Structure 1
């Protein structure tokens, strides 16, 4: 497993990291000491075009990243030792298969083998939220922590667990599915088929949907004017922008999101007693408007000793935590 300090090498080796999300694919290169990020690029995932198109796009982005990194570093192709891939789960890491990815519409896709065959490099596969958590632990906001809970909020909500300094996968690679903890047993239907999942309330699309529902219930808001009256264009980002402008409806949506997240995080604190919870994704753009009520909800629900032992922080690797962690998981699995 990569350490939080690593020696440099006279002939550095490089790893390509891939962060596959429901909305975007991010690819970049890092030397194995984790000292810098090179050739970071992002493209829309376009899962609606099918798995073959997405895999083609990933492989082309990997090749492009290698080309750019070689030009920048002078490295040879042989110095690129592999590709670490973070993908939505559940996964079978041993076989390199994406078992179910609801936001991509995938089932039983042998993603690792497809990438290895097309780019001619060794590859590893891990959960995208595990990768983001490991990335923030290796070089980001959770650096120096021993027990970490990571939460990634985007198209869905993922999670990762680092216990006693090691990424924890569980008995069947399913540990850390934080987005699918039930916070309301009779609540909203989630894409996973369950009801009342945290993801159904606090993911990016869920935040936008709750705002649209409030507007359709005739609650006044500037949100409609921000999207030219086309409510389908409202995104979580639109809600954050309206909240910053002082819009009461948007502020209430952000406060409710904080309460939902706070309830989930309180459960995690009581269960794992971490010393750091790191939250990554677009929701962190809401700033204090999110984190102040979130921390208040955690204090209200969790035991005082676990609250006092833990810091809850936004990620500091926006756009790259998943790539950094994918590199780290490749190094971990190939030591």
Structure 2
């Protein structure tokens, strides 16, 4: 009998969820708005999603992709980015009354696991995923295993400083990878230049039309993304670096990053292939399911 799992990918804006089988085939899916934080409503919403699926399916477990640093065995979250309701809480205990096995992992680790299981890194033992969104997140595979580091903190690439001066107390706010190379940084830069709010899609469209402000913002964005990627190549020398996040849907991004790495140090591209992630919006769910199946001993 085919087993089915509730899979939830929790983000600051939305919770993407689905019922999937063991091969990550989606049987039913939906999107729920993430509740306003601070009202302690998030766990109630998660339970409602799972129980709604239970009306139609017999579920064999709950797999979750969550922001922040996660203790995967206990289910405790040390910090949770924008979803502050999860911070300092044990998710497995909070959802225990669902009566189902529950496994969870960091959101970018889930993206990385998805690429290893069914994506662009299936044949790689050593690779890195970079997710460019509101910040910069990362996942690291070393010798065929996901590297988590202490407290699950490995892969926080966004905290790397790309620029610095003697005002060290504020370097992270002004010169970190996230502050310079995230999609949020791109949107903020372009909005300031144009003196009105724009989206990422707007920026690429305007750049195609020759808008000088959009082009200048993209130049800064590509430079930061390339410098951060080159740093990771020289630290880890992986077989591949895969760039994901919403911006990776723009095929020009990886091309521009490669071009700039060649200017920084061309031999770096002989060490590491730089590509886009295979999975887009489904990555977190696919990786969360893979994590569940491995933790439960269903996959090795």
Counterpart of 1:249 in structure 2 is 213
User: Which residue is 1:291 aligned to?
Assistant: 254
Q: Which residue does the alignment assign to 1:208?
A: 187
Matched with 1:158 is 137
Q: CA RMSD in A?
A: 2.7
Q: Residue deviations 1:61-118, cap 9 Å, x none? A: 23344555x3xxxxxx1xx32112111112233331221123233531222322333x
* C-alpha separation in 2, matches of 1:302 and 1:121: 51
DSSP-derived class of the 1:141 partner: coil
User: Structure 2 vs 1, CA of residues 101 and 188 (structure 1 numbering), >3 Å: closer, same or farther?
Assistant: farther
How far off its partner does 1:146 sit?
1.9
Deviation at 1:286, TM superposition (A): 2.8
> Helix, strand or coil for the counterpart of 2:151?
coil
Q: Deviations over 1:281-324 (max 9, x none)?
A: 11113321x222211222233571x4224222222222110000
Is contact 2:243-2:277 (8 Å) kept? yes
Report the CA distance between 1:164 and its aligned residue. 1.8
Shift of the alpha carbon at 1:272? 1.2
SS in 1 for 2:102: strand
Alignment correspondent of 2:241: 277
Q: Quickly say closer, same or farther: Cα 1:326–1:301, change in 2 above 3 A.
A: same
Partner of 1:268: 232
Offset from partner CA, 1:175-203 (integer Å, 9 cap, x none): 11112111122499999975422111222
Give the TM-score normalised by structure 1.
0.80
8 Å contact from structure 1 (residues 190, 197) kept in 2: no
Matched residues in 2 for 1:193 and 1:261: separation?
16
Map of 1:59 onto structure 2: 47
CA distance in 2, matches of 1:55, 1:192: 35
- 5+ long unaligned stretches in structure 2: none
- Seen in structure 2, the aligned counterparts of structure 1 residues 110 and 166 have a Cα distance that, compared at 3 Å, is same
SS at match of 2:103: strand
Q: Which runs of 5+ in 1 are unaligned?
A: 1-10, 71-76, 217-230
Aligned partner of residue 81 in structure 1, secondary structure? coil
Whether contact under 8 Å (2:131, 2:243) holds in the other structure is yes
Give the secondary-structure state (helix, strand or coil) at the position aligned to 2:32: strand
CA deviation profile, 1:149-190 (whole Å, cap 9, x unmatched): 011122222111111221111132111111211112249999
Equivalent in the alignment of 1:237: 201
For the pair 1:315 / 2:288, whether they are aligned, the reply is no
Shift of residue 17, structure 1, vs aligned partner? 2.0
1:177 alignment partner, one of 143, 150, 156 = 156
Match of 1:40 among 25, 29, 35: 29
1:30 equivalent in structure 2: 20
Secondary structure of the residue aligned to 1:172 is helix
Shift, 1:127, TM fit: 0.6
Offset, 1:237:
2.6
Q: Does 1:115 align with 2:116?
A: no
Task: Quote the residue 2:106 is aligned against.
Answer: 127
Q: Distance in 2 between matches of 1:190 and 1:29?
A: 46
SS of 1:145 mapped into structure 2: coil
SS of residue paired to 2:17 = strand
Which residue pairs with 1:325 in the alignment? Answer: 287
SS in 2 for 1:108: coil
